[in-house]
Amino acid sequence: MGIRPFRRAVVLCIAVFGMLPIALPAQPSVFPSAPAPTLSTPDMTSEPSDDAPEDLSIPGKPEVREKSFLEKDQEARGGGAARMQPPAPKPKIFDAPIVREVVVSGANPEDTKKALRVIQTRVGEPLDPDKQREDIRRLYELGLFSPNILLQADRTADGGVKLTYLVQPNPKVNDITVQGNVKIPTDKILSQLPVKKGQVYTVQAQNKIRESVQRYYEEKGYTDANVRVEERPAAGNMVNLVITVDEGTKTKIKDLIIRGNDHIRDLTIKLRTTNKGSWGPFTHYYNESRFQEDLETIKALYISRGFLDVDVQRGDFVYGPDQSWVSPVIEVREGPRYRVGRIDARGYTLFTREEVLQPFLGLQGAYYSAAKFNAAAEKVKNMYGDEGFLAAKVEPDFHKDSERGVVDVDVVITEGPRIYVGDVKIVAQNYPDDEEMGWLRKLYSRYTPPVKTEVIEREVRLRPGQVYRRFDEVRTRDRLRSLNVFEDVKVHSQLTDDPSVRDCVVEVTQGNTGSLIFGLGFGDVEGGFIYANYIERNLAGMARDLRVSGAIGSKITSFEVSYLDRYFRGTDTAAQFSVFHHRYLRTGGFHQTNTGATAEFTKPLTDTLKEAWRVRLESVSFSYDKGDEPKEKLNDYVAATIRYRVIRDTRDDSFFPTTGRYWYAGVETGAADGFLLKAEGQYATYRPVFNNWVWAMRTQAGLMPYDATNIGYADRFFLGGSQDMRGFKLWGAGPHDSGNEDIPLGGSTKLLVQNELRYPFTDNLAGVLFADFGVLGRKPFELTKPKASVGTGMRLRLPIAQVALDLAVPVLRDSKDQTQFFHFTFTSAF
């Protein structure tokens, strides 16, 4: 590229930079005042000076607007099936120079590293004004630099460009002085400050300090306190802060008096207010600024329970003789409580009247409940959101008959425009490096760098030009969370200049992707055990999993290594490879040893349907050092098999699903101490029934076309255990050996049906009632005497696992069946 073409490219970049207005917060006196630079377009006909830098001066905090990979992807695809109204294309910059170097000037070495970490412009990329705007926004939001951030472009010898971000560090707090405080100690005030000594002092800090101290005084009852913050520049880019407090006085609340509340108890109301009465050691002080909020809170409480005409007013306060205490008075005129009569809808065009009203039908005849109306309205809004109507509103229009105490409700739909995806912006925040990390950690970081942008890109379900469907937004968030490499994931829409177009913003914060865990556990298979587990979920920055685990216990000695590549060789096929060695102490006093390897390849067919192929090579052997040998000989053998499965999953949550289905069907064949041909499947459904109760049903079935004695022991079907037929020991339900009756023999036909009623107490704690029913036959299609059990249990979701506790009682069993009342595992039954 010659000099004249290069000048033309830079001028075009300046023009694009000048397109967006820039708004800055007001600067306090401690910050130097500098006039905002102006953008001037050079004479394109004149020869440029070789030593004059191109000044791309961009002050302040610009609006987010970057060109994403998804827009390029949509252009390559030529649109999509859902693309009905593509947004106008963004202006392109032709012949943009290549970025050869990125430099941050004006910051200390530590802050420079932090700045370079958030700058997304990369060496080797074409100059992109939108991306440079985003860089400046990110630099500003670090909180390290003053708002007047400038960008300078210098030509390089090869026709590229060197970008220099000119920053001015924010001052740091040198000292903080508090004066005027008498009632509250200085150390208490300093503990409330959002900025401490030695920390960076930003343009927003002054207001934050004043508001935090003011709020603290109000909470202590000093409602008329006044706080001022003075900034005094100090040497070395430091600032001294002087906080002056006029404390005023505080008034104790003796009691909160509520009058006229016939249908809602005093305690129910007081629990929702800020101004409460004092009792015993609990003292509350009057807060005038919160009292009006209390009145609105009480009014909203009444309306939510059907008192649509309620009036809540301030009464005449009662004061102590010396004004040392006050009893605020609230006057309530409740009015009638309305029942819901007719429910109708208007404003809908996309859905039928029946579809819109279906979620509201349960409200008819009952007292009006704002909570139930809002829940129904949210369902309708989700219906519209899934069709791209993100701004749809669902509001009630009341027609009250106070004499009858009946309110007819019109569900008013404001559909708004159908929204399309404009751009998809990815904002990734990584943890800063520890400057004092050792050589081992530095070496480890080379193999586990921050998650690469392409990892995030491939999980995004929204594409530019397509309808912006809310469920695609939710799916994107869920897919990113399922990688287990991000501490926080947010996916939301962002307004654009076009009311029918919104950008999708994906914000992720990378968490700790590696962990080394030691612990104790208990399970049906393992007994009591100690274990160690190493997991790294982000090898090479590509969200690839490496797991190494080992356990030693009363019933198990185990070691396993597995590796998961979610996009094997650049395709959408996930590949998981495992090698393992497990030694179990089985019921009946014999040991079973499994050593082998598996490789499984899973390919998505649709968003909810996938297929999986697995190959297995495994050695299985048995020893009887702790028990009698069975009459039916158990042969050592080598299994070499291949399995195919089709899986469909439409559940709303993998831990505590409330709706949806999960099923799979598969067949496995090969050699396993004989010719193996095994068909098996599972079907589970989840459905809300009443209040917050959820009904869950799972059915498992398996069949082999020959007697179980013709196949290796570990490849047969078994019945019983915490994650199978509860109320029975692991494999304890079904045929047993005639010589050693403690040894289960398994079968070739299996059917298990489990029903649960689940009630969530919190998001992470649920109770269950269950009934299990199962049969296990030695021969094909053999239906032996059924087994059944009933019980109750709890489910607790922890950050790393799920704990399941079940108490089960067998109600149908054989005399040889081995029962178990208490079940405890680290995962839910299903």
Strand order in the sheet with 486-495: 420-429, 501-510, 486-495
Residue carrying the six token digits 């070691």? 559
CA distance linking residue 144 with residue 164, whole number of Å: 17
List the single range of 35-49, 85-99, 674-688 with lowest mean pLDDT: 35-49
CA distance linking residue 457 with residue 345, whole number of Å: 41
| Closest CA relative to residue 746, chosen from 705, 723, 725, 776 | 776
List the single range of 93-102, 173-182, 511-520 with lowest mean pLDDT: 93-102
Burial of residue 214, with CB atoms counted within 10 A of its CB: 0-12 exposed, 13-18 middle, 19 or more buried: middle
Average pLDDT on 365-378 reads 94
Residue 438 confidence (pLDDT): 72
CA distance linking residue 186 with residue 234, whole number of Å: 22
Say yes or no to pLDDT of 521 above 90.
no
Residue 353 confidence (pLDDT): 95
Q: Are strands 675-688 and 694-703 parallel, antiparallel or unpaired?
A: antiparallel
pTM for the full predicted model: 0.67
- Of residues 189 and 527, more confidence is placed in 189
Say yes or no to pLDDT of 95 above 90.
no
**For residue 824, what are the contacts with CB-CB under 8 A and spacing of at least 6?**
522, 523, 722, 803, 804, 805, 806
Q: Which two tokens stand for residue 725?
A: 């037929």
**pLDDT tier at 461, thresholds 50, 70, 90:** very high
Q: Which two tokens stand for residue 46?
A: 């004149």
Instruction: Tell me, rounded to whole angstroms, the distance of Cα 793 from its chain centroid.
Output: 27
Say yes or no to pLDDT of 50 above 90.
no
Task: Say how many C-beta atoms besides its own lie within 10 A of residue 217's C-beta.
Answer: 25
Amino acid letter, 151: L
Give the mean pLDDT of the chain: 85
Strand partners, 426: 506
Architecture per CATH, 3-166: Roll (3.10)
Q: Are strands 318-319 and 54-56 parallel, antiparallel or unpaired?
A: unpaired
Residue carrying the six token digits 């001022």? 228
Strand partners, 514: 536
The SS3 assignment for 189 reads: helix
Instruction: Tell me, rounded to whole angstroms, the distance of Cα 273 from its chain centroid.
Output: 31
Q: Are 153 and 33 in contact (CB under 8 A)?
A: no
Q: Are 38 and 22 in contact (CB under 8 A)?
A: no
Could you state, in order of their start, the residue ranges of all structural domains in the chain? 3-166, 172-246, 252-333, 339-414, 420-510, 514-825
Say yes or no to pLDDT of 79 above 50.
no
CATH number of 514-825: 2.40.160.50
CA distance linking residue 796 with residue 694, whole number of Å: 16
CA distance linking residue 701 with residue 679, whole number of Å: 8
List the single range of 366-375, 520-529, 591-600 with lowest mean pLDDT: 520-529
Q: Which two tokens stand for residue 460?
A: 């995004």
Topology of the domain covering 339-414? Ubiquitin-like (UB roll) (3.10.20)
Q: Are 175 and 186 in contact (CB under 8 A)?
A: no
- Of residues 435 and 590, more confidence is placed in 590
Max CA separation in the chain (angstroms): 103
Q: Which two tokens stand for residue 512?
A: 């700790």
Backbone angles phi, psi at 30, to 5 degrees: -70, -20
| Closest CA relative to residue 214, chosen from 188, 247, 262 | 247
CATH number of 172-246: 3.10.20.310
pLDDT digits (tens, 9 = 90+) for 555-599: 899 999 999 999 999 999 999 999 999 999 988 889 999 999 999
Q: Rounded to the nearest 10 degrees, what angle do helices 470-482 and 370-385 cross at?
A: 90
Q: Are strands 406-414 and 329-333 parallel, antiparallel or unpaired?
A: unpaired
Q: Which two tokens stand for residue 567?
A: 């996009």
CA distance linking residue 824 with residue 806, whole number of Å: 6
CA angle 267–270–274, rounded 5-degree value: 160
**For residue 246, what are the contacts with CB-CB under 8 A and spacing of at least 6?**
180, 225, 226, 227
Q: Are 411 and 360 in contact (CB under 8 A)?
A: yes
CA distance linking residue 480 with residue 542, whole number of Å: 12
CA distance linking residue 75 with residue 91, whole number of Å: 14
Residue 203 confidence (pLDDT): 76
List the single range of 42-56, 710-724, 792-806 with lowest mean pLDDT: 42-56
425 CB-side CA count, 13 A:
22
Strand order in the sheet with 406-414: 339-346, 406-414, 393-401
Strand partners, 754: 698, 772
Residue 750 confidence (pLDDT): 98
**For residue 590, what are the contacts with CB-CB under 8 A and spacing of at least 6?**
622, 623, 624, 626, 627, 629, 630, 634, 743
The SS3 assignment for 472 reads: helix
Per DSSP (E only), the strands in 402-471 are 406-414, 420-429
Q: What DSSP letter does each residue of 668-727 carry, written as one string?
A: EEEEESSEEEEEEEEEEEEEE-STT-EEEEEEEEEE-SS-GGGS-GGGSB-B-STTSSTT
Burial of residue 712, with CB atoms counted within 10 A of its CB: 0-12 exposed, 13-18 middle, 19 or more buried: buried
Strand order in the sheet with 252-253: 252-253, 325-327, 318-319
- Rounded to a whole number of angstroms, the distance between the first and last alpha carbons of the chain is 64
Q: Are 615 and 599 in contact (CB under 8 A)?
A: yes
pLDDT digits (tens, 9 = 90+) for 339-371: 999 999 999 999 999 999 999 998 999 999 999
List the single range of 63-77, 146-160, 279-293, 405-419 with lowest mean pLDDT: 63-77
The SS3 assignment for 131 reads: helix
Topology of the domain covering 252-333? Ubiquitin-like (UB roll) (3.10.20)
Per DSSP (E only), the strands in 737-827 are 749-760, 765-777, 787-797, 802-812, 822-825
Whether the domain at 172-246 and the domain at 252-333 fall into the same CATH topology? yes
CATH number of 420-510: 3.10.20.310
Q: Are 515 and 488 in contact (CB under 8 A)?
A: no
